[in-house]
Amino acid sequence: MAGDRSASPIDELRDLALSAPPAEFGIQPEVGRAWAVVMDTTYPEGSVSLIALSDGSASLYRSTGGGMIGGQGRENVARAAQAFVNEATRHLLRFTTAVATGLPPPGITRFYVRTEAGTVTAEATEADLGAGNHPLSPLFYAGHEVITQFRAVTDAGK
């Protein structure tokens, strides 16, 4: 982590998703397919990281604290997480090799996609992605569907 501050548990979980081998998650990656996606968005007040794996696992972390984990235990979340990873596979040609895995500056959404060949990345403004004005907008929408399904589970538990 940058600076003198020690890594928070959320930083450590995000770093794990970006660096651990797929076997550590019980995943056998397929050639030419994504097996994990991290979608980071930074706002002036902090960042949000969505992590999804091909087995339906999903987690949402906020740099300000809190988040949601365990998506694979909820069918709707797991289905959305798998769709997000599948959507990433459809866009692999738009990504470049990741040389670093830092968080983006405010207003930017950055994707990291893990494949058997390594980690690739792409980014765009959140505004362009959200407005449907970017080739990666479908991936952004698929990520937000995971968040929507997490919220549905949370709301149902109230």
Could you write out the DSSP letters of every residue in 28-64? -PPTTSEEEEEEEEEETTEEEEEEEETTS-EEEEETT
- Between residues 156 and 141, which one has the greater pLDDT? 141
Looking at residues 132-156, what average pLDDT do you find?
91
Is residue 120 within 8 A of residue 112, CB to CB? The reply is yes
- On the question of pLDDT at 136 being above 60, the answer is yes
Q: Give me 104's structure tokens.
A: 């983006």
- On the question of pLDDT at 76 being above 60, the answer is yes
- On the question of pLDDT at 5 being above 70, the answer is no
Q: What is the pLDDT of residues 22-41, one digit of tens each?
A: 999 999 999 999 999 999 99
| CA 110/CA 63 separation, integer angstroms | 15
**Domain range summary for the chain, segments of one domain joined by +:** 9-156
- On the question of pLDDT at 3 being above 50, the answer is no
Is residue 109 within 8 A of residue 121, CB to CB? The reply is no
